Amino acid sequence: MNRTLRSVAAGAAALTLLLTAACGSDDTGSGGDSGDPLRATIGLIGPKSGAAQFYWTELVRGIELAEPEIKERFGVTFDKVEGDDQGSPDVASRVIQTMLNQDEVDAVFGPSQSGPSLQVAETIQRTGRPWLVSIAAADEILDPDADPNWGFRTNNNNSDAIAVSGSYLWAEPGAKVGIFYGADAYGQSNRDMLAAYAEDNDKTVVHEEVIQPGATDVSSQVRKMRDAGVDSILVAVTTGADTAAVSKAMDQLGFEPDRFLVTATVLAGYTDLAQPREWENLAFIEPRDLTGDSFAGIAQRYEEEYGEKPTSAVAVYTTYTSAILYAQAVAAAKDAHDWEAVRQAMEDTPSLDVNGRVWEQPFGADDHDLYEDDPSSWYVIGFDPEGNLRTIGSAGS
Amino acid sequence: MLDQILVGAAIGCLYALIAQGFALTFRTTHTMNFATGEIGAIGAFVALGLAGVGWLPAPAKLAAAAIIVALVGAVVFAVLIRPFVTNDGHDARWLLVTVALSLVAVDLLRNSQGTQHRPLDFARLDGVLSLGFAQVPKQLALLAVVCLALGIAIALLVTRTGLGVRMRAVAEDTETAGLVGIDARRMGMLSYAIGSAAVAVGATLWTGYVGVFPDIGPLLLVPAFAGAVIGGLISVWGALAGGVLYGIAEQLFAHWFGATAGGVIGLVAVVGVLVLRPEGLFARRVEVKV
Amino acid sequence: MAAVALPLARLRPWAFPLAVAVVALLAILYTTDGSGVRLSNSQQIGQICAFLVASVGLNLLVGRTGMHSFAQGAFLAIGAYTFVWTQLTWDAPFLVGMLLAALVPALAGVVIAVATTRMRGPQLAMVTLITAVVVYKVLAEWKPFGQFGGYPNTAAHGSSLIEPPSLFGWELQPPLFGGTPATALVPVIVIAALSLLLYRRVAGTGWGLSLSVIKQSELLAAHLGVNVYLRKVAVVSFAAGLAGLGGACYALVFAHLQPESFALMLGVNLIVMVILGGAGTVLGPVIGTAVIVYLQTAPSVAAFVRWENDTISDRWYLSAQGLIAFMMIAVLFAMPAGIVGSAQRLLRRRRPRRAAIAPWHGGEPAAHLVAVAHTSGESAELVVTDVGLAFGGVRAVDGVSITVAPGSIVAVIGPNGAGKSSVVNLISGVYAGQGGSMHLGGTPLRGLPAYRRARLGIARTFQTPILSPELTVVDNVLVGSEQTASMSCAGAVSATRAARRARERDLRDVAAALELVGLTEEAGRTADELSYGQQRLVELARALVSRPRLLVLDEPAAGLNPTEIAALALILERLRDQGLSVLLVEHHMDLVRRIADHVVCMIDGRVAAAADAHTVLSDPLVVSAYLGQGHVAVAGGQHA
């Protein structure tokens, strides 16, 4: 028995090694110098394996969904080079080098997460390649001082979201605002932004509580939040499950603040894990009208194409947006391989139309964020008792 | 404060049950399964798969998941761990095999099931149980009661029955045990089966509260391991007490010092216990033999 | 022919350093060429080197000392953050930064080592696990280190990369930008190569050998005169320092730190690297680190995953991390000693290793060994007066007095459970005991720990031999020499002329001891290849090279055949004739009758009779004690 096992294991080991050696490197991209100037080699990098795989899935699918439209409107086609950063910054750093220097991609889409993005940001900026930051939201990814700036973000950044959230949270004069934030990159960033916003606007954040990702019970934190007299709270955690932990504890303790604001991460599975009575008062703000035609249309096409609901419809939409933005610039520059021209064309984009939603002159030399922090262009969104999205109104009112 | 102690104790019961699995397998085979959290995740996903079987009552679904996972545990021991069972305390290959197994399992679960939290549609209790002086979510109360009952049952099985004696005999002296007809391999498989089944039940009830997802391993491994170590590693009662103790301490420290500092202080407290009593709180020191 | 062979033989010791230097030079030439195409590989080489420095340190812990630590990744992180901190906050010179990056984790290592002295196995694993988790949490949550924004980050430091440090006027550029030669990799590769050479040197010294002894048995180590506590503190701290240095290398390669990179997984990966490559081997960590770092992003692995998706399922498949873990399991089954370790075993089976020792040519070896012993001390008389020992109310030893005069063999006999071994353990320092007094050559022993007694000249063997199975006979004997006990970590690192001479002297002692016990032929074999009788003789030889003044043997004849016993008797007589004091616990009455000058019979913890062998063995009390216990060995013959 033991001997058989050992030989089987030896065989498996040998096979693994053999495959490793034999497969060789057969996945080099087609390179940046293919004949057709409108045929762009793009590099997609994200956590294909790891604990946040859906960000990879949505990145790939967001591009795939946009491809027919891109071909039709701009005559641009993509050759895709895939890179798995495994959610790890140092792996991302190596993958990006291969993409930039060996595959010579014409543009980089991703990494999907902030940590790997921060690790590679400077490398991409200095190497000089059109860079589409379509999902990661940490502000520091796009260095405002970079000149020229190669990065373009088609998601809102954290500070914009917080600026709008702030105006919502402090809408009532004398509102006592508190924040639950996750002990991760997203939570920390939101906490810092809210503190900065408060300082700029002469407000104070009355109370702060940390939520450990995956915590079973957060009643202690919720109790302290309630005891601090907070009546307007922001929950900035990464998963719907963590939001559910907070709302569950609020429900148990009968804590009903006037304003219960969460962030768009609530879309990932929250309503599956919470009870309708917990989300009656819950809202989040979004620069996209999630029930409007532009956004919902793409979510619907996603369902038709892949037979399931997107885990993060926002990531799909923002990636779709980035693909359109990039392809339009390629068409304008008339050559995907003239990276500087493409970059300039993106910066000079006269008008961007994403499935009916139109941005006029969205970028400038020192503005590479698609979304602005003007509350009137943002939406307040919540769930109905069935768990479907409902748009409550504009964040500006 | 009382609420926090109760909630901590309830979560601690889950840690305790898993810690007991560590103690059980360690005293029988001198090995522990570091893929225990992933075993629990497998149990939760099996239960999730059974959720659609409408005619099966919830306890039966739990039992079915437990049995399937028990088989997985026994096979894991027989195939992957048993070849590395030695008396050499420095041969840690079993540890690496189980760590590697946890990575394989979590990778497979992530790829096949997705990384999202999914609701378990049965064995879920909504609402809060009020005890007058304190209150605790019903689901956590259920978790505590089931885990504690299982833990006590297993501890009695191990300390009061002939089967437990035979398991212990294997641990003390495999050769002599073999001479009197005790099959070390079967005893090892049995201990792993019992440990795994217990973990599956506990983890499933817990995911009824927080959702089913592949990455539950790290959330359970460190607390349960801590419980087992401060409990004394070979004592099944000690592991139970250690797990509950760690659960309460974790919750209280988080309450007093905040979630981040509290977590760190809880872990440092475990180190403190070990520095003062390396043999754990509930086991006697073993004299060196020359 | 001989003229050619001689220089080659002289070059032999340099072959390994030379090979390392050549490989390092090639790596440097490859990586500093500045072309963009090589950046990814250069980064990979840099990362391999950074991890290699840390895993070489971990190899000392896991492979040599048998301490499985998950904390090595945490020490690496501390080193990396320390280095970046020195660069950001006070723009420290490069070398100062490196030094601090090694020192700070080394100090943290001291703390961990002191806290874990009494722990073993799972407890130790728990504490190192906690260390890894806590360090990660602190880095991820502590504001000055940028949290998840990274260190450095644009918000707080204006850039997400550290300024390239300069060394002797050279700017050390990270392997990040095409067209810029990755000069930072020069120190990184050099440090990796040096750490490999350092490991090789340290592992071969007395200090390094003592680690293997600690792994095998801390008790044995103490009886060889090793201060186990201090040595463990030293090795943990040394390993942590190397990890810190590796961390600084990591910071040089990436020029930016994200806390995600230093989660618990890094510590797990480092252990996997060491064991996969071959724990305790010199090249193991190199292979392990290179294989794992390479496979993480290998195109072939990506291709294999695609193949899985196409032919098996796009849901039930393993991605890179899972595949690496699967391979790890397969390697553990197929190559139990790791890739390098198993390959070495295979080679050795084909071509047995030659003894690294010149055979003894110096007359009577016993004279050499004992003469050495006599120069170091005056009289070596052991006087034990009225000592006692109780285990929870049971008096195992009660008022026992024994004297061993120089140049005599004293045998302690008695039925099982009479307390004979306890007496030996009292003398060698395993137990503290109660009452009475013990002196060796006038020096009081009471209150001294085992290692101090060993240094005073008490050497002993054990009832069941304790040897390091993977070490050669020479090494197993060599650990008995004084250098094992007294060499410091610094002494192991620096190669002084005096140390080399001391080693040559020790090797001569080993050769003499092997000649005396008749194992010269087996010098190059590993301990696990020897017969039981031979293993006992290796133990005896090990005890002799410590230049003992008193030799304590615990049932040396147990398990030997009559020929071997006769040989043993001869050896002991030769040693006595040179003036060595020998205390012998023995069941084997033939042996006792033949060699003992004085016999002490113990019954129920007390001395029942003490006189010459003939008198004691015919004492009716002694006879009845043996017969009453169901033993019939008095008349001689084999005894179990």
- Per the CB < 8 Å rule, is A217 touching B255? no
Q: What is the pLDDT of residue C118?
A: 81
Residue A184 has φ and ψ, to the nearest 5°, of -145, -175
Residue C312: CB atoms within 10 Å: 11
Average pLDDT over residues C124-137: 92
Average pLDDT over residues B271-284: 84
- Per the CB < 8 Å rule, is C302 touching A90? no
A interface toward B at CB cutoff 8 Å?
2, 5-6, 49-54, 183, 209-212, 214-221, 223, 239-241, 244-245, 248, 252, 268-269, 272-273, 275, 311
Q: Closest-CA residue in chain C for A127? A: C177
- Is B199 in CB contact (< 8 Å) with chain C? no
- Is C306 in CB contact (< 8 Å) with chain B? no
Parts of chain A belonging to CATH 3.40.50.2300: 10-156+292-366, 159-286+376-394
Task: Compute the nearest-CA separation of C461 from chain B (Å).
Answer: 11
For the cut 50, the answer to whether the pLDDT of residue B124 exceeds it is yes
Q: What is the pLDDT of residue C638?
A: 41
Residue B39 included in any domain = yes
Q: What is the pLDDT of residue A306?
A: 94
Residue B73 included in any domain = yes
For the cut 50, the answer to whether the pLDDT of residue A144 exceeds it is yes
The predicted-structure confidence for B31-64, as pLDDT tens digits, reads as follows 899 999 999 999 999 999 998 887 888 889 999 9
Q: What is the CATH number that goes with domain A159-286+376-394?
A: 3.40.50.2300
For the cut 70, the answer to whether the pLDDT of residue A30 exceeds it is no
Cα(A317)–Cα(A287) distance, integer angstroms: 12
Average pLDDT over residues C562-570: 91
Residues spanned by the domain of B162: 2-214
Buried residues in C360-398 as b, exposed as e (16+ CB within 10 A): beeeebbbbbbebbeeebeebbbbbeebbbeeeeebbbb
Cα(C460)–Cα(C448) distance, integer angstroms: 16
Task: Compute the nearest-CA separation of C123 from chain A (Å).
Answer: 25
The predicted-structure confidence for C238-272, as pLDDT tens digits, reads as follows 999 999 999 999 999 999 999 999 999 999 999 99
C-alpha count within 13 angstroms, C-beta hemisphere, residue C611: 9
**What is the number of domains present in chain B?**
1
Sort B161 into a burial class: Cβ within 10 Å, 0-12 / 13-18 / 19+.
exposed
Helix (H) or strand (E) holding A67: helix A53-74
- Interface probe for B, chosen from C61, C112, C127, C130 (most Cβ of B below 10 Å), is C130
> Which tokens sit at A267?
């879309």
Q: What is the pLDDT of residue B121?
A: 81
The predicted-structure confidence for A159-214, as pLDDT tens digits, reads as follows 899 999 999 999 888 899 999 999 888 898 899 999 999 999 999 999 999 999 88
- Per the CB < 8 Å rule, is B111 touching C318? yes
Q: Write down which chains contact chain C via at least 3 CB pairs under 8 A.
A: A, B
Torsion of CA C388, C393, C396, C401, to 10 degrees: 20
Split at pLDDT 50, 70, 90, the class of B164 is confident
Beta strand C550-554 with C458-460 is parallel
For the cut 70, the answer to whether the pLDDT of residue C356 exceeds it is no
Q: What is the pLDDT of residue C433?
A: 80
Residue B37 included in any domain = yes
- Per the CB < 8 Å rule, is B290 touching C123? no
Residue in A22, A89, A140 nearest the CB of C261: A89
- Per the CB < 8 Å rule, is C149 touching A118? yes
Chain A residues near residue C302 by CB distance under 8 angstroms: 27, 82, 84
- Is C464 in CB contact (< 8 Å) with chain B? no
Contacts of C302 (CB under 8 A, 6+ apart): A27, A82, A84, C320
CB-defined contacts A:B, below 8 A:
84
- Tell the CATH superfamily of the A10-156+292-366 domain: Response regulator (3.40.50.2300)
- Per the CB < 8 Å rule, is B137 touching A248? yes
Residue B16 included in any domain = yes
Residue in A12, A21, A90 nearest the CB of C330: A12
Q: What is the pLDDT of residue C353?
A: 58
Residue B102 included in any domain = yes
- Is B81 in CB contact (< 8 Å) with chain C? no
The predicted-structure confidence for A39-64, as pLDDT tens digits, reads as follows 999 999 999 988 888 999 999 999 99
Residue B254 included in any domain = no
Task: Compute the nearest-CA separation of A212 from chain B (Å).
Answer: 7
Split at pLDDT 50, 70, 90, the class of C505 is confident
DSSP state of C529: G
- Per the CB < 8 Å rule, is B271 touching C315? no
Q: What is the pLDDT of residue C625?
A: 76
The ipTM estimated for the assembled molecules is: 0.91
The predicted-structure confidence for A65-108, as pLDDT tens digits, reads as follows 999 999 999 999 999 999 999 999 999 999 999 999 989 999 99
Q: What is the pLDDT of residue C34?
A: 80
Task: Compute the nearest-CA separation of C49 from chain A (Å).
Answer: 14
CB-defined contacts A:C, below 8 A:
168
Q: What is the pLDDT of residue C631?
A: 46
Task: Compute the nearest-CA separation of A281 from chain B (Å).
Answer: 18
> Which tokens sit at C251?
């910071």
- Interface probe for B, chosen from C332, C335, C422 (most Cβ of B below 10 Å), is C332
Chain B residues near residue A54 by CB distance under 8 angstroms: 114-116
- Per the CB < 8 Å rule, is A97 touching C148? no
Q: Which of A40, C172, C122, C283 is nearest to B270 (CA)?
A: C122
Q: Closest-CA residue in chain A for C174? A: A123
Q: What is the pLDDT of residue A295?
A: 94
- Is C312 in CB contact (< 8 Å) with chain B? no
Split at pLDDT 50, 70, 90, the class of B30 is confident
Residue in A9, A12, A115 nearest the CB of C260: A115
- Per the CB < 8 Å rule, is C300 touching A24? yes
Q: Closest-CA residue in chain C for A144? A: C154
Q: Write down which chains contact chain A via at least 3 CB pairs under 8 A.
A: B, C
- Per the CB < 8 Å rule, is C336 touching B268? no
CA angle C495, C218, C227 (to 5 degrees): 50
Residue B152 included in any domain = yes
The predicted-structure confidence for C586-606, as pLDDT tens digits, reads as follows 888 888 989 999 999 998 888
Percent of all residues in chain A with a pLDDT value above 90, rounded to a whole number:
70
Residue B99 included in any domain = yes
- Per the CB < 8 Å rule, is C130 touching B103? no
**Mean pLDDT of all residues belonging to chain C:** 87
For the cut 50, the answer to whether the pLDDT of residue A218 exceeds it is yes
Q: What is the pLDDT of residue C442?
A: 83
Beta strand C166-167 with C170-171 is antiparallel
Of residues A30 and C309, the one with the higher pLDDT is C309
Average pLDDT over residues C481-506: 82
pTM value is 0.91
